Structure 1
Amino acid sequence: MTLLLVALGAAVGAPLRYLTDRAVQVRFGSAFPWGTFAVNVAGSLLLGLLVGLPVAPWLASLLGTGFCGALTTYSTFSYEVLHLGRAGGRPRAAAYAIGSVLAGLAAAGAGLLIAAAIA
């Protein structure tokens, strides 16, 4: 049953990641990977919230592992850092890498704080 819940969450998270990335890139251009940045920070916030709330294991599997796991993307983030660096934008690549990690940690921390406030 857990595998099915993870798959269902991923079936929603992966297309949402793709659609969000496309929408953000169309709006803000493709010079900087804002779409991946946005989904990774949003996923970190949601995961922090889920970890901080007393949720049932089935819901953690559906939303945490499935949805957040498919929504966020470390592989695309890594590729984009390398691509920015190879395109001559090493400072931009470093800023993206450091900014993504810090923003993700801050978002996860904010999710925990929100969970503590509402639980």
Structure 2
Amino acid sequence: MINVGLGAAIGAVIRYVITSWWKKLRIDWPLATLFINITGSFLLGILTNNFASNSSIMLLFGIGLLGGYTTFSTFNVELISMMDEKRWGMFALYFGLSYLGGVIAAICGMMI
């Protein structure tokens, strides 16, 4: 289980660096979270297709690294914030892009 914790720590640091960089752009849209979750879905698709039978790789990279890298909780907080601010168009677009984009990215990753 140390490999899961190590992977999660690395994934969280990568997510933090990407989010910090993106915040410097001062864009009023959660592009960092969208990018992180879509790329995480894509990478998980690649891992699943190529290494599903290798539990060591899946624990370190799939559950650990990508689990620490992607962020469902931040996604939900951002959605709730959009609801509170009654930004319904942004809410619908972000929700749709995140879920549909994540599924499409995972499928594309599984094709590699």
> Structure 1: how far apart are the matches of 2:51 and 2:35?
26
Identity of aligned residues (%): 33
Aligned pair count?
111
> Structure 2: how far apart are the matches of 1:10 and 1:30?
27
* Cα shift at 1:65: 0.1
Q: Which residue of 2 aligns with 1:31?
A: 28
> Structure 2: how far apart are the matches of 1:102 and 1:26?
27
Q: Is the 8 A contact 2:51 2:58 kept in 1?
A: no
Name structure 2 gaps, 5 residues minimum. Answer: none
Q: Which residue of 1 aligns with 2:68?
A: 70
TM-score, normalised on structure 1?
A: 0.88
**Deviating 4+ runs (over 4 angstroms):** none
* Cα RMSD for the two superposed structures: 1.1
Name structure 1 gaps, 5 residues minimum. Answer: 115-119
TM-score, normalised on structure 2?
A: 0.93
